[in-house]
């Protein structure tokens, strides 16, 4: 990677700044270094800062790649002496602005690079091609080759989002290991409910419940079938007494909207 | 009384002329397909059935909220069709093939308007409410629609749906190919943009055909050697690649001839410049004139007998 | 030759008319429901089956069975067979009402009835339906103009409006007189135009389905479908006259008119024979006879259509004895009328089978009520008009050639 030098310096600066000013970690809001407004004290691990910073980078697009078969690729990596040991980071945040341009429904995936490398022991599994340019690094990040989808000049080159999904899900399926559903890797971005909720100034408890149910109707129905709603039991204070009282939402007694 | 032979031949000549017109060969039917439209290539071997395309379609087209959440994947097994509340749906098919883990291998099929190159609906529309745009979209303009539903009769893919429960202002509902997004906002169609695995490839139709051919060539074991929509009904803007025969996926075999060709050819050869009605009119006028003369001679004409109109009046009143 | 049409002197509210009024009320209720709850509320129409009973019967069959109008006009006025003039007026009335109710049926069926004028502004020359719509629109006006002289004849010089409207008596009478002078001079044009427009849209109704080769059953889907529609419409013209004249003369106790009807059906032997030959030739040439014994709903419907709607009545008409029998003639003509009705229903409803969703369709009660109500209304208006206008022949009057 050609930009490693300045990148590292910048990252260290950012990390320092983060520690000094206790910048809140903004997973959804990029550009951490500038927005050093000391509002809330939220500690963020330095490596997280670094990973966020790294995820924001968009590297120059690699136009041409060396098309070689999997075996040739594995051999080449052995020849240059690259192996699982040559890793700089333990994990990456997959949060490229290329994807975020069209997509805000899920949070970034924390890809445990070292762990995956350790398990598969085969760099060529993901680093399947290298740039045609001899001077370029042997392995590059995914987003060097996979950027915007449907590139007219490279009709068969997948976009970054599809490259991630096809690679991860395909391999998880193949190996019968690792998640293949959305929530297995992503946290869903919950939309800001401040604008969604329509309640009067001092709502009654019932109004609050019905406002939730306005959108989450199935959740409400599921709730009615769950133990949280159906639990029922004798009060320890009245147990074995003459006026035994049943507690729980399933009764009409207590805490039951 | 009765009909004499000569009159009958006159009549037959007229009928014959009409017949001859309709039988004239399909000489010059011209496709009106745009030369370089956009399209989408749906690779069914890539689709994972996440229904994100349905969700995105619902959002960008501001369609009504579904009865069941888009995250409910049990719906995939119902054989759904696009309807007035969903321009696109994904169905799951199983061919019986089993993978290494003894799981049935599913094939997910996304359905939506195919945006035909020579759309039957556009040819059929009584009032130009449906048009084929240069960018490939088959576009619906509700302000011209009268709700005759001939487009729905014509569509070989049974796609256009109708708001049957709106009494006064129902609309024909079908995939728009995100016409405004693609044309004005230079964005991708909602479904193609959101698809996490690029099962939908957006691009120029002719490039997509190349891409599809290349994928088949590169991976012949993975694909059926057929690009569904390349030739079907004269070509469609949306095309499919699959590893399972298309007939097993609800994508029926269809003729390669564009749907409107026969009807348009007949209409065109019969009614271009209204030649046949004019000829028929002239012939009937001639017959009327001749029969009037004859009936005058025979003495069974009208009272006045001074020309057609008087003649007619005498008989009619 | 003279014949005398006159208003029918009979009691209007007969039991039959009361039944018609009830059916009309039920149809009206269904139509109101359609305009409150939508088409989906009263019908079984779906995405895959967008056309049903209303298009098959109210529109397609309505147009075909109104063919008596142009076929009799052709016979009596264009090739000059004046002998048949007594049947022209009733046939004209049937056609006029038939087309009027075709348009009313369409208004119920199309989603945006208020937008029905839009095709006049936005022309789509490739659309068969556009051509049909334009022809029907013009032809309906032609029919009204052809019928106008009957109104003029009845009221000319005798306009007598009650109360404050009496002031309009003079102007209206003037208008009628003006129409009386102008209309006969133009009538030749309208008569020919009527025949031309009829030929155009009767055939184009068949072209409508040519755009759906994968949906219409191969027994009906043929490139000559427009020709078959035209010949069957022409063939059904005179049987429809017989059917309608027999019903009218029987129920109103008028002269039977057999002297006209028997020779009239001699043309039908040829016309229906031509249709039968085309139909048989078509299934032979295209080899679709292989489907005939499939015994599916569609192939059965085809057999019924051909056997009982064409072949049997054609054979009946071949016999001069049966042609002279009022009852046998009526039965044969009713079968022909029914055959064309079944044919149109088959082409637009039964034979229409969407191959992907394979959706079935059977008309909902609401659809049936609307269709029955419209037909009842047509008969009611017919009854009303013949009571007040000179359409049917005066009884006890010699009809001589």
Mean pLDDT, 10 residues at a time, over chain A (257 residues)? Answer: 44 44 43 53 83 90 89 90 83 91 87 91 90 89 92 90 93 89 87 85 87 84 84 78 77 57
Segment C316-350, tens digit of pLDDT: 999 999 999 999 999 999 999 999 999 999 999 99
pLDDT by residue (tens digit) across B134-175? 999 999 999 999 999 999 999 999 999 999 999 999 999 999
pLDDT in tens, C54-77: 999 999 999 999 999 999 999 988
Euclidean distance between CA atoms A176 and B25, whole angstroms: 61
Task: Please give the average per-residue pLDDT across B31-35, as a whole number.
Answer: 92
Question: CB–CB of B46 and A166 under 8 A?
Answer: yes
pTM more than 0.90: no
Chains that touch C (3 or more CB pairs under 8 A): B
C193/B3 Cβ within 8 A: no
Q: What is the pLDDT of residue B26?
A: 44
C363-394: per-residue pLDDT in tens?
A: 999 999 999 999 999 999 999 999 889 888 87
Residue pairs spanning A and B at CB distance below 8 A: 45
- Min Cα distance C43 → chain B (Å) is 9
Q: pLDDT class for B311, splitting at 50, 70, 90? A: very low
Question: C116 — contact with chain B (CB < 8 Å)?
Answer: yes
Task: Please indicate if any CB of chain B lies within 8 Å of the CB of A103.
Answer: yes
Residues of A in contact with B48 (CB under 8 A): 165, 169, 180
* CB contacts, 8 Å: B292 with chain C: 80
Q: Which residue in B294, B288, B313, B287 sits closest to B302, CA to CA? A: B313
Instruction: Provide the pLDDT for residue A40.
Output: 67
Query: Can you tell me the mean pLDDT for C103-128?
Result: 94
Ranges A84-93, B288-297, B308-317, C274-283, most confident: C274-283
Break chain A into its structural domains and give their ranges. 54-185
pLDDT in tens, C298-324: 999 999 999 999 999 999 999 999 999
| C11 vs B: CB within 8 A | no
Interface test with A, best of B98, B196, B202, B214 (most A CBs within 10 A): B196
Give C253's pLDDT tier (boundaries 50, 70, 90).
confident
What is the Cα gyration radius of chain B?
Answer: 28
Minimal Cβ distance to C112: which of B150, B169, B310: B169
Residue B315 has pLDDT above 50, yes or no: no
Res B89: pLDDT = 96
pLDDT band at B296 (very low <50, low <70, confident <90, very high): low
- Residue C40, CB-side half-sphere exposure with 13 Å CA sphere: 14
Contact C119 B149 (CB under 8 A): no
Chain B residue with CA closest to A153: the answer is B207
Neighbours of C268 (CB within 10 A): 26
Asked if the Cβ–Cβ distance from B198 to A152 is below 8 Å, we say: no
CB distance C77–B315 less than 8 Å? Answer: yes
Q: Looking at residue C3, what is its pLDDT?
A: 59
Q: What is the pLDDT of residue B141?
A: 96
Note the pLDDT of residue B304: 37
| CA angle centred on B305, ends B303 and B307, rounded to 5° | 145
Buried/exposed code over C110-135 (b: 16+ C-beta within 10 A; e: otherwise): bbbbebbebbeebebebbbbbbbbbb
**pLDDT given for residue B308 in this prediction:** 38
- Minimal-distance CA residue of chain B relative to A168: B197
* Nearest residue in C to B155, CA atom: C212
CB contacts of B202 in chain A (<8 Å) are: 149-150
Give C345 to chain B, closest Cα distance, Å. Answer: 15
Question: Which partners does chain A have (≥3 C-beta pairs < 8 Å)?
Answer: B
Residue C171 has pLDDT above 90, yes or no: no
Residue B102 clears pLDDT 90, i.e. is over it: no
ipTM: 0.91
Distance CA A237, CA C264 (A): 104
Confidence of residue B247 (pLDDT cuts 50, 70, 90): very high
A83 CB contacts (<8 Å, ≥6 apart)? A77, A123
Q: Which residue has the higher pLDDT, C288 or C254?
A: C288
Q: What angle do CA C77, C82, C88 make, to 5 degrees?
A: 65
Q: Do B288 and C191 touch (CB under 8 A)?
A: yes
A213 burial level (CB within 10 Å; 0-12, 13-18, 19+): middle
State whether residue C215 sits within 8 Å of chain B by CB. Answer: yes
Question: What average pLDDT does this structure show over C101-121?
Answer: 95
Higher per-residue pLDDT: C95 or B103 = C95
Q: What pLDDT sits at residue A256?
A: 54
Do chains C and A touch by CB distance (3+ pairs < 8 Å)? no
Cβ burial of A55 (10 Å; 0-12, 13-18, 19+) is buried
CATH architecture of A54-185: Alpha-Beta Complex (3.90)
- pLDDT computed for residue A12 by the predictor: 47
Give the pLDDT confidence score for residue A196 in this predicted structure.
85
Neighbours of chain B (3+ CB pairs under 8 A): A, C
Provide the pLDDT for residue A22: 41
| Contact between B94 and B106 (Cβ < 8 Å) | yes
pLDDT on residue B306: 38
Residues B164, C34: Cα–Cα separation, whole Å: 10
């Amino acid at each position: 990677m050609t930009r490693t030098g300045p990148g590292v310096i910048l990252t260290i600066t950012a990390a320092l700044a983060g520690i000094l000013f206790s910048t809140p970690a903004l997973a959804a809001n990029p550009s951490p270094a500038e927005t050093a407004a000391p509002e809330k004290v939220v500690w963020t691990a330095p490596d997280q800062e670094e990973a966020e910073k790294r995820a924001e980078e968009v590297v120059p697009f690699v136009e041409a790649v060396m098309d070689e078969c999997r075996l040739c690729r594995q051999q080449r990596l052995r020849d240059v002496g690259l192996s699982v040991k040559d890793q700089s980071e333990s994990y990456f945040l997959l949060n490229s602005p290329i994807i975020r341009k069209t997509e805000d429904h899920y949070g970034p995936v924390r890809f445990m690079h070292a762990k995956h490398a350790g398990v598969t022991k085969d760099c060529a599994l993901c680093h399947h091609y290298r740039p045609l340019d001899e001077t370029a690094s042997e392995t590059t990040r995914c987003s060097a080759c996979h950027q915007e989808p449907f590139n007219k000049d490279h009709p068969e080159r997948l976009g970054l989002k599809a490259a991630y999904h096809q690679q991860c899900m395909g391999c998880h399926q193949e190996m019968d290991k690792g998640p293949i559903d959305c929530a297995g890797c992503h946290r869903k971005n919950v939309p800001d409910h401040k604008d969604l909720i329509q309640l009067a100034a001092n709502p009654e408890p019932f109004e609050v419940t019905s406002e939730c149910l306005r959108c989450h109707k199935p959740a409400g129905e599921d709730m009615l079938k769950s133990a949280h709603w159906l639990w029922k039991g004798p009060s320890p204070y009245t147990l074995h007494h003459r006026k035994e009282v049943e507690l729980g939402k399933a009764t009409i007694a207590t805490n039951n909207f | 009384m009765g009909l004499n032979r000569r009159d009958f031949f006159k009549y037959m000549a007229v009928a014959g002329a009409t017949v001859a017109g309709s039988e004239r060969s399909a000489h010059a039917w011209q496709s009106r397909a745009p030369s370089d439209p956009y399209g989408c290539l749906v690779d069914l071997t890539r689709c994972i059935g996440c229904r994100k395309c349905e969700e995105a379609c619902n959002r960008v087209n501001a369609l009504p909220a579904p009865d069941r959440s888009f995250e409910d994947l049990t719906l995939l097994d119902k054989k759904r069709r696009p309807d007035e509340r969903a321009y696109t749906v994904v169905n799951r098919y199983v061919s019986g093939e089993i993978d290494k883990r003894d799981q049935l291998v599913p094939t997910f099929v996304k359905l939506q308007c195919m945006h035909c190159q020579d759309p039957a609906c556009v040819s059929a529309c009584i009032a130009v409410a449906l048009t084929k745009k240069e960018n490939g979209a088959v576009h619906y303009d509700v302000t011209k629609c009268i709700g005759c539903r001939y487009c729905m009769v014509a569509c070989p893919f049974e796609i256009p749906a109708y708001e049957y429960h709106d009494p006064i202002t129902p609309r024909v509902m079908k995939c728009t190919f995100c016409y405004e997004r693609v044309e004005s906002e230079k964005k991708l169609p909602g479904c193609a943009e959101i698809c996490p695995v690029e099962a939908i490839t957006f691009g120029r139709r002719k490039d997509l055909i190349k891409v599809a051919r290349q994928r088949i060539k590169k991976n012949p074991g993975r694909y059926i050697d057929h690009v569904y929509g390349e030739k079907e009904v004269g070509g469609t803007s949306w095309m499919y690649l699959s590893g399972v025969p298309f007939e097993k996926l609800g994508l029926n075999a269809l003729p390669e001839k564009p749907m409107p060709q026969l009807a348009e050819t007949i209409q065109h050869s019969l009614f271009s410049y209204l030649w046949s009605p004019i000829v028929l009119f002239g012939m009937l006028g001639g017959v009327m004139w001749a029969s009037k003369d004859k009936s005058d001679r025979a003495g069974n004409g009208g009272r006045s007998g001074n020309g057609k109109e008087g003649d007619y009046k005498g008989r009619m009143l | 030759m003279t014949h005398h049409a006159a208003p029918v002197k009979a009691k209007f509210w007969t039991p039959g008319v009361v039944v018609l009024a009830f059916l009309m009320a039920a149809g009206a209720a269904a139509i109101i429901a359609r305009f409150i709850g939508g088409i989906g509320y009263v019908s079984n129409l779906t995405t895959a089956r967008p056309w049903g009973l209303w298009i098959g019967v109210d529109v397609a069959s309505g147009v075909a069975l109104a063919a008596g109008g142009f076929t009799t006009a052709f016979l009596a006025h264009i090739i000059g067979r004046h002998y048949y003039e007594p049947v022209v007026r009733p046939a004209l009335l049937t056609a006029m009402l038939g087309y009027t109710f075709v348009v009313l049926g369409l208004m119920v069926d199309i989603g945006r009835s208020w937008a029905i004028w839009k095709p006049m502004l936005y022309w789509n020359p490739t659309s068969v339906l556009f051509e049909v719509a334009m022809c029907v629109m013009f032809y309906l006006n032609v029919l009204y103009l052809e019928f106008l002289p009957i109104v003029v004849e009845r009221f000319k010089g005798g306009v007598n409006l009650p109360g404050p409207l009496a002031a309009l008596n003079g102007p209206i009478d003037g208008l009628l007189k003006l129409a009386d002078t102008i209309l006969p001079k133009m009538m030749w044009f309208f008569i020919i135009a009527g025949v031309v427009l009829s030929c155009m849209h009767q055939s184009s109704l068949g072209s409508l389905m040519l755009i759906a080769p994968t949906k219409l059953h191969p027994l009906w889907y043929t490139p000559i479908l427009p020709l078959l529609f035209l010949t069957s419409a022409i063939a059904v013209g005179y049987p429809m006259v017989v059917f309608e004249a027999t019903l009218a003369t029987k129920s109103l106790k008028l002269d039977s008119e057999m002297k006209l009807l028997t020779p009239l059906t001699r043309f039908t032997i040829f016309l229906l024979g031509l249709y039968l030959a085309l139909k048989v030739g078509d299934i032979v040439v295209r080899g679709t006879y292989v489907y005939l014994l499939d015994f599916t709903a569609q192939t059965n419907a085809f057999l019924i259509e051909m056997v009982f709607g064409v072949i049997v009545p054609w054979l009946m008409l071949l016999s001069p004895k049966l042609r002279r029998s009022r009852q046998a003639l009526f039965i044969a003509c009713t079968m022909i009328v029914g055959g064309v009705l079944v044919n149109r229903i088959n082409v637009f409803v039964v034979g229409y089978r969407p191959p992907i969703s394979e959706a079935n369709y059977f008309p909902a009660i609401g659809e049936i009520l609307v269709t029955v109500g419209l037909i009842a209304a047509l008969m009611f208006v017919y009854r009303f008009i013949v009571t007040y206008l000179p359409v049917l022949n005066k009884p006890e009057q010699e009809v001589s050639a």
